[in-house]
Chains A and B, each alone.
Chain A
Amino acid sequence: MAPKVPPQPSLEQSSTATAAGHGLAHAAPPKGILRWLLTTNHKEIGSLYLIFSLIMFFIGGIFALVVRAELYQPGMQLIQPEFFNQMTTMHGLIMVFAAVMPAFTGLANWMIPLQIGAPDMALPRLNNFSFWLLPVAFILLLSTLFMPGGGPNFGWTFYAPLSTTYAPPSTTIFILSLHIAGISSILGAINIIATILNMRAPGMRMMDMPLFVWTWLITSFLLIAVMPVLAGVITMMLMDINFGTSFFDAAGGGDPVLFQHLFWFFGHPEVYIMILPAFGIVSAIIPTFARKPLFGYASMVYATASIAILSFLVWAHHMFVVGLPLAATLFFMYTTMLIAVPTGVKVFNWITTLFRGSISFEPPMLFALAFVVLFTIGGFSGLMLAIAPADFQYHDTYFVVAHFHYVLVPGAVFAIMAGVYYWLPKWTGHYPHERLAQWHFWLSVIGVNLTFFPMHFSGLAGMPRRIPDYALQFADFNLVSSLGAFLFGFSQLLFVAVVILCVRGGRKAPAQAWDYAEDLEWTVPSPAPLHTFETPPTYQRPAH
């Protein structure tokens, strides 16, 4: 039984929501900049998150293009190795912490209250605070690039002792900014949990929630569980650097490998933090455009939960070559292989949803379908990486780079774009420009594959990751990757164009913007007024 409401608005009060601001006296919002600084409205904060993450996506993208430009051909042409290392590090940090995570938080802010029939997030003022921490954190982080000794240059995984004893002086600022970003994520997660658990429309049980809400609930638990561990690790780093402790310094009786254990205890769940909400978005889009209820709703929820639990048990598969004992290597190999099962269940469910549907190919659907195919390819390389003996060859090569970019770019990023295209009519009241969106899609798909598919080959052929210059046999693969990266990078300008055009105008969208879309957000008008569901709707279970 899919947890859907019937296509027709089934809410007694949906008419009340139509006219914004009536019924209850809303204080006039402050004007100009102050309005955005002080807003406690989940929709405005959601927009802030999304705009912030788009800007950061471009900044991180520029860093990636600097890297790809240097790697266009063998030899050092454009930048110095020190700067190259700063670029790879910053690219990773910005994309993970400032682009992908805030984008999902933005979507959560916008959509979770709408999908569960709540008037706002549970803690609106906290919501405002957790957003405004982000610009502070990342302006600090970006400013390290201009400090003496440069910014962080030890990779986004910042392994000790390269990131402690041998780090540039700006590392303390890096730690501070990561702390602030971490607090922001944690506050966001608390807010989301409080909202989902306490503010569902009367009659909506947990197993009636849309999958985007479910995946975000589980993601929030992951965030609460692992962000403090990250905070702990960087605090230990800070103490090692500034207060003479030696958590990670062998000279003082510490252990550099401990850093990696702690980091990946955070880092692997972090990977799922970046992909679970994507599963939720795709699980909303595919049924809509296949005009058929999602296959296996319950098993999707269970699979998400078991992926989340397993994610705590696999961290050392990032460390197969640090010299783990045999039993540990075996254990982590088995648990990692096990993750393929629930992940496979998800893919099978999506495909079975398509089977005997009635499928149309609007832009959100295009991105969602590309997500299924390309994420699965990333999953296959992940399965290969799980085989520990083979991982001794794959580890820290471009094969790994190919793997996680397949999971994160056509995975997480495509899902975010699919979500944006899917909900733009709800946000702006206009459909996105179909032609432009199709161009954006096809150029992105071609660009992504040109960029990352050859990396499988260069990795297998023996190219280590994070090197600014490479041997001649890798030249062809890198040339293709660099061309693809520029194609992908510049086609994202189309995305910006589509979004701006859509905000300004375009074909008008009704409340029910997509024919078969069933969740509660489609019962409020498009564009969604500033205040919705001020009287809770009564949720009615659909009768499929």
Chain B
Amino acid sequence: MSRIEMGNDDQRSAIRRTVWRSVAALVGMFAFAFALVPLYDVFCEVTGINGKVETSAQALVNEEIDDSRYVTVQFITRNGSGLPWRMDVETRQIRVHPGQSAEVNFTFNNQSDGVSWGRAVPSVSPSSATRHLRKVSCFCFDEQRLEAGERLELPLVFQLARDLPEEVNSVTLVYTLYPVETRKAQLQAGAKVLEGDEV
């Protein structure tokens, strides 16, 4: 009907080329949107945005303890909805020197008559401290399973790096307890049984 459909092969192939390039860009951008999810996590961990912390254990770094200053570390536990657990921390706050490692115990108590899975989601404030917090061991790395009425004590071992910014003299660690969906929990339980681990 129009010029395009009537011929002019050069133009038609040029148009086709443009279209394919656009489509490639589109697909790329769609993939990029999903790639942003892990990228964002990496970015957050590197920069400490949003108090997101490493979700896996870090090694303790042997560095000289900075005796010249104290940092107050506060621990706050919160309950998200839907998990019949009680979460306590043995102390609400401690004072540590940068470079020093510390251990604090948290207790979890399943108050229902059924087994359930939970996860403590960590958040750190101020965000400028996040990069300088090394967690050697934390209950928040894994999902926890508690039998009916079971009580579990788990430690948090951490170290504040010596290069913690000068102006930071108090760091708050918040743990919010959320239920892990049953379906997901069963899958993982199954996997663990297969691996022969103690469940």
B111 in the interface, Cβ–Cβ < 8 Å? no
A111 in the interface, Cβ–Cβ < 8 Å? no
Q: Smallest CB–CB gap between A27 and chain B, Å? A: 7
A251→B121 contact, CB < 8 A: yes
Q: Smallest CB–CB gap between A129 and chain B, Å? A: 14
Whether A229 touches B22, Cβ cut-off 8 Å, given contacts A27-B1, A323-B50, is no
| Interface-lining segment among A1-9, A191-199, A333-341, A520-528 | A191-199
B2→A186 contact, CB < 8 A: no
Whether A194 touches B22, Cβ cut-off 8 Å, given contacts A123-B15, A232-B33, A326-B128, is yes
A-B contacts at CB below 8 angstroms, number: 122
Please, which residues of chain A bring their CB within 8 A of the CB of B27?
228
A-B residue pairs in contact (CB < 8 Å), sample of 14: A120-B3, A124-B1, A124-B4, A124-B5, A190-B19, A194-B22, A199-B11, A224-B26, A228-B29, A229-B33, A231-B30, A232-B30, A232-B36, A244-B181
Whether A253 touches B1, Cβ cut-off 8 Å, given contacts A224-B26, A244-B181, is no
Give the residues from 134 to 149 in chain A that come closer than 8 angstroms, CB to CB, to chain B. none
Please, which residues of chain A bring their CB within 8 A of the CB of B44?
255
Q: Smallest CB–CB gap between A39 and chain B, Å? A: 11
Question: When chains A and B are docked, how far (Å) is the Cα of A454 from the Cα of B155?
Answer: 57
A228→B3 contact, CB < 8 A: no
Whether A193 touches B22, Cβ cut-off 8 Å, given contacts A198-B15, A244-B181, is yes
Partner of B11, one of A198, A231, A262: A198
Partner of B40, one of A228, A253, A261, A531: A261
B84 in the interface, Cβ–Cβ < 8 Å? no
Question: When chains A and B are docked, how far (Å) is the Cα of A220 from the Cα of B133?
Answer: 45
Q: Smallest CB–CB gap between A199 and chain B, Å? A: 7
Give the residues from 320 to 336 in chain A that come closer than 8 angstroms, CB to CB, to chain B. 323-328
Question: When chains A and B are docked, how far (Å) is the Cα of A252 from the Cα of B83?
Answer: 13
Give the residues from 1 to 56 in chain B that come closer than 8 angstroms, CB to CB, to chain A. 1-6, 11, 14-15, 18-19, 22-23, 25-27, 29-30, 32-34, 36-37, 40, 44, 47-52, 55
With A119-B2, A228-B27, A232-B34 already in contact, 10 other A-B pairs whose C-beta atoms are closer than 8 Å: A122-B19, A123-B19, A190-B23, A199-B15, A224-B22, A227-B26, A228-B30, A229-B29, A236-B34, A253-B55
Question: When chains A and B are docked, how far (Å) is the Cα of A197 from the Cα of B18?
Answer: 8
A255→B18 contact, CB < 8 A: no
Partner of B48, one of A24, A244, A325: A325
Partner of B18, one of A198, A257, A534: A198
Please, which residues of chain A bring their CB within 8 A of the CB of B184?
244
Question: When chains A and B are docked, how far (Å) is the Cα of A118 from the Cα of B1?
Answer: 13
> Who on chain B is nearest to A40 by CB?
B1
> Who on chain B is nearest to A220 by CB?
B22
A194→B15 contact, CB < 8 A: yes
> Who on chain A is nearest to B40 by CB?
A258
